[in-house]
Amino acid sequence: MIALICLALATPLQAEMGGEDYRSGAGALSAEERAAARARLAEQIAAERARAEEAARRASEDAARLAAERAALPRAERLIEARCRTCHDRARSTPRGWGHWAGPSR
Protein backbone atom coordinates (compact mmCIF):
# COMPACT_ATOMS: atom_id res chain seq x y z
CA MET A 1 0.00 0.00 0.00
CA ILE A 2 2.77 2.41 0.98
CA ALA A 3 4.71 1.52 -2.15
CA LEU A 4 1.63 2.31 -4.29
CA ILE A 5 1.24 5.74 -2.65
CA CYS A 6 4.94 6.51 -3.13
CA LEU A 7 4.70 5.46 -6.79
CA ALA A 8 1.61 7.64 -7.30
CA LEU A 9 3.31 10.67 -5.77
CA ALA A 10 6.50 10.17 -7.77
CA THR A 11 4.80 10.29 -11.17
CA PRO A 12 4.67 13.69 -12.83
CA LEU A 13 1.32 15.41 -12.66
CA GLN A 14 -0.37 16.95 -15.66
CA ALA A 15 -1.17 20.65 -15.38
CA GLU A 16 -4.73 21.65 -16.20
CA MET A 17 -3.59 24.64 -18.25
CA GLY A 18 -1.14 24.72 -21.08
CA GLY A 19 1.11 27.55 -22.17
CA GLU A 20 -1.47 28.82 -24.65
CA ASP A 21 -4.01 29.31 -21.88
CA TYR A 22 -1.85 32.03 -20.35
CA ARG A 23 -1.64 34.10 -23.50
CA SER A 24 -3.86 37.10 -23.99
CA GLY A 25 -6.51 36.96 -26.67
CA ALA A 26 -5.63 40.49 -27.74
CA GLY A 27 -3.07 40.92 -30.44
CA ALA A 28 -0.23 43.39 -30.49
CA LEU A 29 -1.23 47.03 -30.90
CA SER A 30 -0.39 48.87 -34.07
CA ALA A 31 1.69 52.04 -33.96
CA GLU A 32 -1.43 54.21 -34.28
CA GLU A 33 -3.18 52.36 -31.44
CA ARG A 34 -0.11 52.70 -29.21
CA ALA A 35 0.08 56.43 -29.98
CA ALA A 36 -3.61 56.85 -29.18
CA ALA A 37 -3.24 54.93 -25.91
CA ARG A 38 -0.23 57.06 -24.93
CA ALA A 39 -2.18 60.23 -25.77
CA ARG A 40 -5.11 59.08 -23.60
CA LEU A 41 -2.75 58.30 -20.73
CA ALA A 42 -1.04 61.69 -21.11
CA GLU A 43 -4.45 63.42 -21.01
CA GLN A 44 -5.46 61.49 -17.89
CA ILE A 45 -2.15 62.32 -16.18
CA ALA A 46 -2.51 66.01 -17.06
CA ALA A 47 -6.10 66.08 -15.76
CA GLU A 48 -5.07 64.39 -12.50
CA ARG A 49 -2.16 66.80 -12.10
CA ALA A 50 -4.52 69.76 -12.66
CA ARG A 51 -6.95 68.40 -10.05
CA ALA A 52 -4.11 67.96 -7.56
CA GLU A 53 -2.82 71.49 -8.20
CA GLU A 54 -6.34 72.90 -7.78
CA ALA A 55 -6.79 71.02 -4.50
CA ALA A 56 -3.41 72.29 -3.25
CA ARG A 57 -4.32 75.85 -4.26
CA ARG A 58 -7.67 75.61 -2.43
CA ALA A 59 -5.98 74.18 0.67
CA SER A 60 -3.43 77.01 0.59
CA GLU A 61 -6.18 79.62 0.25
CA ASP A 62 -8.13 78.03 3.12
CA ALA A 63 -5.04 78.02 5.34
CA ALA A 64 -4.32 81.67 4.51
CA ARG A 65 -7.96 82.63 5.20
CA LEU A 66 -7.91 80.80 8.54
CA ALA A 67 -4.61 82.45 9.50
CA ALA A 68 -6.06 85.86 8.63
CA GLU A 69 -9.20 85.14 10.67
CA ARG A 70 -7.13 84.08 13.67
CA ALA A 71 -4.85 87.13 13.28
CA ALA A 72 -7.92 89.39 13.40
CA LEU A 73 -8.92 88.06 16.83
CA PRO A 74 -7.98 90.06 19.93
CA ARG A 75 -4.63 89.12 21.44
CA ALA A 76 -6.16 87.60 24.59
CA GLU A 77 -8.45 85.35 22.56
CA ARG A 78 -5.55 84.23 20.36
CA LEU A 79 -3.52 83.31 23.44
CA ILE A 80 -6.39 81.38 24.99
CA GLU A 81 -7.10 79.62 21.72
CA ALA A 82 -3.43 78.76 21.25
CA ARG A 83 -3.26 77.33 24.74
CA CYS A 84 -6.57 75.42 24.67
CA ARG A 85 -6.29 74.17 21.11
CA THR A 86 -3.24 72.11 21.99
CA CYS A 87 -5.57 69.63 23.67
CA HIS A 88 -8.97 70.54 22.31
CA ASP A 89 -8.29 70.93 18.61
CA ARG A 90 -11.63 69.41 17.65
CA ALA A 91 -13.63 72.14 19.41
CA ARG A 92 -14.91 73.84 16.26
CA SER A 93 -15.54 70.73 14.20
CA THR A 94 -18.21 68.99 16.25
CA PRO A 95 -21.79 68.58 15.02
CA ARG A 96 -23.01 70.55 18.03
CA GLY A 97 -20.94 73.58 17.09
CA TRP A 98 -18.13 75.56 18.65
CA GLY A 99 -17.11 74.93 22.22
CA HIS A 100 -18.65 71.48 22.68
CA TRP A 101 -15.38 69.63 23.10
CA ALA A 102 -16.40 68.11 26.42
CA GLY A 103 -18.54 65.50 24.69
CA PRO A 104 -22.23 64.70 24.89
CA SER A 105 -24.23 65.90 27.86
CA ARG A 106 -25.24 63.27 30.37
How confident is the model over 34-72, as pLDDT tens digits? 999 999 999 999 999 999 999 999 999 999 998 898 888
Its domain, for residue 77, covers 31-91
Q: How confident is the model at residue 106, as a pLDDT?
A: 41
Does residue 22 form part of some domain?
no
- Is the pTM higher than 0.85? no
Does residue 38 form part of some domain?
yes
CA distance 31 to 36: 9
- What's the helix, strand, coil split of the chain in %, to 5? 65, 0, 35
Does residue 60 form part of some domain?
yes
Does residue 40 form part of some domain?
yes
Does residue 51 form part of some domain?
yes
What's the structural domain count of the chain?
A: 1
Closest CA to 87 of 70, 100, 101: 101
Does residue 68 form part of some domain?
yes
How confident is the model over 80-103, as pLDDT tens digits? 887 877 776 655 555 555 555 444
